[in-house]
Amino acid sequence: MTNFEKWLEITDRLPSPDNYVKWSWRFIVGAALQRRVWYGSEDKPIYPNQYIILYGPPGTGKSIVLGDINHILRYWKAKDVRPNKDGRSQAEAVLIDKIHETNSTLADDSMVKARKNVDVPTPPAFPYAPDATTYEALVDSMSKAFRRINYLDFSKNGANGVPPKLAIYGHCSMYFCLDELGSLFKKKADSVINYLLGLHGCPKEYEYKTKTAGEDRVVNGCLSFIAGTTPDFMEEVQDDKLVGSGFAARCLFICATRNRKNVSSIPKLTEDQERLRVEILEHIKHLSQLHGEVKVDKETLDYVQWWWNDIEEHKNLRINKCSKLEGYYARKQLHMWKTVMANHFSESLSMTITTEEVKQAIKDLEDEEPTMHIGLVANPKNPLAKLSNKIYDFIVKYQKPTMVDFMTEFWDDLPQGKKSLEDCLEHLIALDKVKQNVEEDGTITYLVKG
């Protein structure tokens, strides 16, 4: 059983939609790799951090699956993750211990400063922002997320039988989960967006302004975030910088309209599920010690180049032609590399990615593309936007309603009468949410698809 399958098994008790669950796992892997693993050249590296937004109406299991993400990433503490000293000299072993001790001290100090007079928890292996995150809290948490790691430097000492040199790498990596994306943008929205834009690419240095310290900077910063959001919030920000600044293009909008199943209460993990959870935790712990560049052979590089040429030369064949996704498609190759690293390190500690893994990552993105635009096209100026949602809910509730049923229920809400109703139904059919059904007597009814 793969680690991905183990995750699916332990989250099977949740009502959350399948795509929420799948991308939550990829987020966990990318966040656990932090800024220690990358693909690409030294001056243009791509890191596995992702910005993921789970979009859906209230009650679609966003918070529930986000809670399981935190249960995994917050489990290990900094003191638990001890560097491997196998094969190292006595002097190097002493140095490794000293670095681990310094890391622990720095982590302890940062938690004391963050909590002040409150009981101080044990520092986490994977630093995270507070659940109720403001711009100030985000910046403050990031400044306290610095960690060091030992690694073997093969660049100068690994040739001609000379042992690689023990080196030290420092980075400032952090993740955060938010039940509601809107809570981050209540105040200082421009500053938040600029900060998220600045750290998405994990720059060596990122300078920003603070209220009390003026100019400040993050060195080797890396931010991963996943958040839930609802149609109401996305309607509010359609004309805002959140959608139009390039921020949305750096996000993967994972959209769903309903839970995959009804669950009255979340059951405890079974003994088998608990065993699988322990195995997953051990793998995440191993990921915390990885460092280095991901390697790709010529065959895989040739395939990626062919694929990207095809994408650019046949834009008319995109799965989703919504103009709101122009930014996503322009950065699709970046999303692919982040996704393939998440998939690969979900199961392996090797540093080599294969062609088949690239193909799978492309498929994973394509599976989401048909509905990826939904969170970006909600428009309060369009009177049919909310009406379409109401009609969909009506179909879910009553099953197989006819045009007469719709006209009876929604006549007062239809600005152009029957035409408005037809527009809404065509929209729902185009989104692959609803399908027409012809009964034996020839009556046309409508069903929820899937």
pLDDT tens per residue, range 28-65: 999 999 999 999 988 899 999 999 999 999 999 999 99
State the pLDDT at residue 200: 93
> 306, 291, 408: which is closest to 349 by C-alpha?
291
Percent of the chain with pLDDT over 70: 82
State the pLDDT at residue 115: 47
State the pLDDT at residue 112: 46
Per the model's pLDDT, the better-predicted residue between 250 and 189 turns out to be 250
pLDDT tens per residue, range 416-429: 788 889 888 888 88
**Quick one: average pLDDT of 81-88?**
65
Mean pLDDT over the full length of the chain: 86
Least confident of 66-75, 303-312, 391-400: 391-400
State the pLDDT at residue 312: 94
Least confident of 67-71, 136-140, 156-160, 290-294: 156-160
**Domains of the chain: residue spans and CATH:** 3-35+45-76+124-237+252-292 (3.40.50), 382-448 (1.10.10.10)
The pTM of the full predicted model, rounded to 2 decimals, is 0.80
**Quick one: average pLDDT of 390-394?**
89
Model confidence at 390, pLDDT cuts 50, 70, 90, reads: confident
Q: Over 80: is that where the pLDDT of 84 sits?
A: no
Model confidence at 218, pLDDT cuts 50, 70, 90, reads: confident
Per the model's pLDDT, the better-predicted residue between 378 and 8 turns out to be 8
Model confidence at 351, pLDDT cuts 50, 70, 90, reads: very high
Q: Over 70: is that where the pLDDT of 123 sits?
A: yes
State the pLDDT at residue 26: 98
Model confidence at 194, pLDDT cuts 50, 70, 90, reads: confident
- Whether the CB-CB separation of 144 and 169 falls below 8 Å is answered with no
State the pLDDT at residue 168: 80
State the pLDDT at residue 397: 86
